[in-house]
Chains A and B, each alone.
Chain A
Amino acid sequence: MELILEGVPWIVVLIILPLTGGMACFLFPKISKSLGLLTSLAVVACVWGLGWQLIEEGAQRYAIGGWGAPLGIDLYADGLSLVMLAVAALVGLGISVYSSAYFSRDKANHFWPLWLFLCGALNALFLSSDIFNLYVTLELLGLTAVALVALADGAQALISAMRYLLVNLMGSLFYLLGVAFLYHSLGSLDIAILAQRAQPSPAMWAAVGLISTGLLLKTALFPMHFWLPAAHACAPTPVSAVLSALVVKASFYILLRMWLEIFPMVGSSFAQLMGGLGAAAVLWGGVQALRQTRLKMLIAYSTVSQLGYLFLAFPLGMSVAWRGALYMLLSHAVAKAAMFMAAGNILAAGGDDRIADLSSITQRLPLTLTAFSLAGMSIMGLPPSGGFIAKWLLLEASIQSGQWWWGVILLLGGLLAAVYVFKVVGHVFTQAEPKLEARAVPARMEWTALVLALVVIFLGLFASWPLAIMEIGSPFGEGDSG
């Protein structure tokens, strides 16, 4: 057994498996649902295998085709990538199960290949150590995501998909231009080599600015968040979940990698800027979420707000802060997926998701509302949930580093979240009569939402394991242990 676990190049399998799965689904549409589910399960197993390898042997590096850097392309897995892969695999499995009941026959034929290609792109992104390879995976991710958004019918969805596509392309081009400058100054495309050669210079500054702009556009940091609410709200529900939970996190991951390895010497003012924008995102997104009349828009603005938390780690810069931001990323991914699934259930049962009309539908969906409330606990940062652990770590960092104002933003964000979460949950406790014409929601959809929400609670109780895994390969540097 150990031989299998150690001998197989799990890194490569993780990329190839979803790609072949996607192609198979395209070629054999009749069995695409089963193929899709099987592939998602297999991806989870592969992540498990990779994790085993990492724990036994430490960070893994794999040269594609046997040609290593600087000319060839390397794949690299450490604790940080493993955590991202694990989230993607877990949430991906949940989304696959949900989608198997959600889509009708003809939509499903389009969905499964696109979804599996997206998974492949995600996995490749998390494992790339080559900045141009990252561009390719980013583009693949963006194109599949746009196509998935466009699966929904209706002008709104198509318009938001078009806008999303243009934003994606704009972001990627900024990124590519930055890569061009970076390559020109330092002569390599491999992150590890770049880290060794990094020197401040005008070209470097330009590269940092361009790459960051491109990635921030894709991560929808305020004020470049304008495309997100429409795209996430108008997409089909499983796609909304994928977008909020995973796709926006991918560009953040790249930014984080670059920041930790190549950009540290850039200086603190840029970090403060990102922190400031993050704070603005937290507050702006929270306030906007309150004003929404439709549930999916509320959840989408909540994503804008929660993404702001991730950027608070940049000015704080300590190991505790990075771990807090990553844990926030982790918890938000699972919680947001659960929330969108819950909203999808409500939509499926009642026909529309107007918040004011929720009272009549909530009585029929106790499991769904429980899932929403549990996920809401994490979004609010109340114990015991993953969001609470993340909030704690970030608060600890902000107090320890003396930059207490970020802590205030954290607390304010939590209060705003409480207002909009309870705005929805409060509709459960009314005297409204249950709606008579509600459609039945497939059990699979309700249970997937609930299971994911329970995972978030577990993340709040058993935080030591993910935190320990994050440290494999010391992606956050050998500095203080927090």
Chain B
Amino acid sequence: MNWGMALPLMVLGSSLIPGLMIFFLSEEHVVARTTLNLASAILKIVLIGGMFWGMLHGYHYESRLALLPGLDLVLRAGPLSMLFVLLSAGLWLVTTVYAIGYLEGSPYRSRFFGFFSLCVTATVGIALAGNLMTFLVFYELLTLCTYPLIVHRGTEVARKAGRTYLIYTISGGALLLLSTVWLYTLAGTLEFTERGFLSGLDTSVHPTLMLIFALLIAGLGVKAALFPLHGWLPLAMVAPAPVSALLHAVAVVKAGAFGIVRVVYDVYGIEFATDLGLTFPLAILAAVTIIYGSLRALFQDELKRRLAFSTVSQVSYIVLGIAVAGPVATIGGLIHLVHQGVQKITLFFCAGNLAETLGIHNISEMNGVGRRMPWTMSAFTIGAFGMIGAPPLAGFFSKWYLGRGALDAGQDWVILILSGSSILNAAYFLPILYIAWFKKPPERWPAERTFGRRETAWALLLPPVVTAIMTLLLGLLASAPFGLLEWARLIVSRGAGQ
């Protein structure tokens, strides 16, 4: 069988088909549903691993479907796509375990896990997209699949959050559609190409291209939570913790950021974008978002909202890395894509544990919780320090490369932004740690559930511990031969192309 064509489709199918099957399972079939969930997650990782191995050995993977005359749906494996797809698949497995534990006994689980699988399918499609059209299709699909997860609980708050989410994302999608069609009429193609496919166009269309870039960033910036389009993200925290963890720390916001990377590298090309003067405003926007997110985070008492604003801030590091437009800064941005994902998911898992086990939603309720739930809070501590950028954790390396890259590219002001936001990060994370570890615990927790001698259920405990360990490893092994840094260097040296 032609693996080159089939493998990308199989990767997509490994979550699509089980997802559709799960919809038809009734609520009581817990074993069947759990098996399907875990089996598809593992299968997906295996298939992606195979694709990765094949790519390293020079195999070419591409699936095409003619959508319109002259325009195809394309799935293609390349260094950048593999980066994102491995991150997504790996974190999905962990989140599936977590979600199974978290939603124990709650209603409509089949519906939840069905849409959960569809979300991952959409994310993988975004990662493997080989042209802007395919990206657009899966991007919009992601919106449609994430909405049911946000409104899953069905409360008024959830439904309102869902409405806001839709308003933002569908408007963003309309802008994205407009710019894609426009680009297609100007350039005649939408295939992601190393160094972009727009530089060859006549200089008379350059102002139009600048306008289109703005529209693209606006459309992608909604999901990437760029200021001022971030408004949906804190509201969406009303969703169950697994949803917040995967989607809003990893899949949805990363899809937006990934899209921006694609646009700057494979549609415009970094040199062309810099020539047009597009990267500097983007860098400013990213910087504003970084500071704004960190400032808002300071004033949140609800734990998940603080983490949400932290996400708003941290995802813009990726955009900043791209916009600074030096190879080193880009490396920093790309590795931060991975690091932020792993660290943030750890933090959300812990927040979910606190809520599920002890009924804690606010930081002010977290006095002394470190003693009650040591493993959870240790994972949280690692994640928090990674966010602040303390060596030898993963986050340190991202910030280091971003800073050095900024200096290399002559954009010294970025250092100010980076240090400023690190201070702010410390300002909103360290107090949490202090409260958790060093304050006296209250008489009674808001709503405690006991799990025997364990601090909480296995399914809830294991995932954050695993991701915290990953944070450590990513930091310690950063410079290793097959480490993340090497990979990022490879991507950048190819112009982040396919």
Contact = CB atoms under 8 A, between A and B. Distances in A.
Touching in the complex, A and B, CB below 8 A? yes
Interface of A: 366, 377, 380, 382-384, 388-389, 391-393, 395-396, 399-400, 407, 411, 414-415, 418, 422, 426, 428-432, 461, 463-464, 467, 482
A464 B178 contact: no
Given A389-B68, A426-B159, A426-B163, A395 B151 contact: no
The 5 closest A-B pairs by CB, nearest first: A383-B137, A429-B151, A431-B154, A395-B181, A430-B154
Contacts of B171: 415
A25 to B, nearest CB: 37
B249 interface: no
Interface of B: 23, 65-69, 73, 136-137, 140-141, 143-144, 147-148, 151-155, 158-159, 162-163, 166, 170-171, 173-174, 177-178, 181-182, 184-185
A392 B174 CA distance: 11
A415 B159 contact: no
Contacts of A399: 181-182, 185
Contact of A430 (B136, B159, B177): B159
17 contacts: A380-B170, A382-B170, A383-B141, A384-B141, A389-B68, A392-B68, A393-B68, A396-B184, A411-B177, A418-B166, A426-B151, A429-B154, A429-B158, A431-B154, A461-B65, A463-B67, A464-B66
A383 B178 contact: no
B177 A395 contact: yes
Contacts of A482: 69
B151 A384 contact: no
Given A383-B140, A399-B185, A431-B154, A464 B69 contact: yes
A418 to B, nearest CB: 5
Residue from A383, A395, A399, A422 having most chain B Cβ neighbours under 10 A: A383
A392 B70 CA distance: 13
Contacts of A422: 147, 163, 166
B67 A389 contact: yes
A426 B136 contact: no
B68 A426 contact: no
B181 A415 contact: no
Given A395-B177, A464-B69, A377 B162 contact: no
A431 B163 CA distance: 16
Contacts of B162: 426, 429
Nearest to A377: B144
Residue from A429, A461, A463 having most chain B Cβ neighbours under 10 A: A429
Nearest to A384: B137
A464 B68 contact: yes
Contact of A415 (B147, B153, B158, B174): B174
A382 B171 CA distance: 12
A249 to B, nearest CB: 22
Contacts of B66: 464
A38 to B, nearest CB: 32
Contacts of A388: 137
A393 B68 CA distance: 9
Given A383-B141, A422-B163, 12 more contacts: A366-B23, A384-B137, A392-B181, A396-B185, A399-B181, A411-B178, A422-B147, A426-B163, A429-B158, A432-B154, A461-B65, A463-B67
Contacts of A391: 177
Contacts of B170: 380, 382, 414-415, 418
Nearest to B71: A392
A415 B171 CA distance: 7
A417 to B, nearest CB: 10
Contact of A467 (B69, B174, B181): B69
Nearest to B134: A383
A89 to B, nearest CB: 24
Nearest to A481: B69
Contacts of B154: 429-432
Contacts of A389: 67-68
A429 B166 contact: no
Nearest to A465: B66
A411 B180 CA distance: 13
Contacts of B69: 464, 467, 482
A261 to B, nearest CB: 24
B205 to A, nearest CB: 12
Nearest to A412: B174
A377 B140 CA distance: 10
A429 B146 CA distance: 13
B178 A429 contact: no
A431 B108 CA distance: 10
A73 to B, nearest CB: 36
Nearest to B171: A415
Nearest to B110: A366
A401 to B, nearest CB: 10
B174 A411 contact: yes
B181 A396 contact: yes
A469 to B, nearest CB: 13
Given A377-B144, A422-B166, A431 B68 contact: no
Contacts of B137: 383-384, 388
Contacts of B141: 383-384
Nearest to B149: A429
Given A396-B181, A400-B185, A382 B148 contact: no
B67 A395 contact: no
B21 to A, nearest CB: 14
B57 to A, nearest CB: 32
B114 to A, nearest CB: 10
Nearest to A398: B181
Nearest to B139: A383
Contacts of B166: 418, 422
Contact of A382 (B23, B140, B153, B185): B140
Residue from B65, B73, B173 having most chain A Cβ neighbours under 10 A: B173
B65 A395 contact: no
A66 B166 CA distance: 60
Nearest to A428: B148
Nearest to A432: B154
Contacts of B151: 426, 429
Residue from B143, B158, B181 having most chain A Cβ neighbours under 10 A: B181
A429 B152 contact: yes
B305 to A, nearest CB: 22
Nearest to A370: B23
Contacts of A396: 181, 184-185
Contacts of B159: 426, 429-430
A356 B224 CA distance: 34
A482 B140 CA distance: 26
Residue from B23, B144, B162 having most chain A Cβ neighbours under 10 A: B144
A432 B66 CA distance: 43
A178 to B, nearest CB: 36
A383 B136 contact: yes
A302 B155 CA distance: 28
A113 B162 CA distance: 47
A384 B68 CA distance: 12
B107 to A, nearest CB: 9
Nearest to B65: A461
A431 B66 CA distance: 42
A318 to B, nearest CB: 11
A395 B162 CA distance: 28
Nearest to B178: A411
A461 B67 contact: yes
A432 to B, nearest CB: 8
Residue from B153, B159, B174 having most chain A Cβ neighbours under 10 A: B174
A440 to B, nearest CB: 17
Contacts of B153: 431
A463 B65 contact: no
A426 B160 CA distance: 10
Contacts of B173: 382
Contacts of B184: 396
B152 to A, nearest CB: 7
Contacts of B148: 428-429
Contacts of A432: 154
B174 A407 contact: no
A430 B108 CA distance: 11
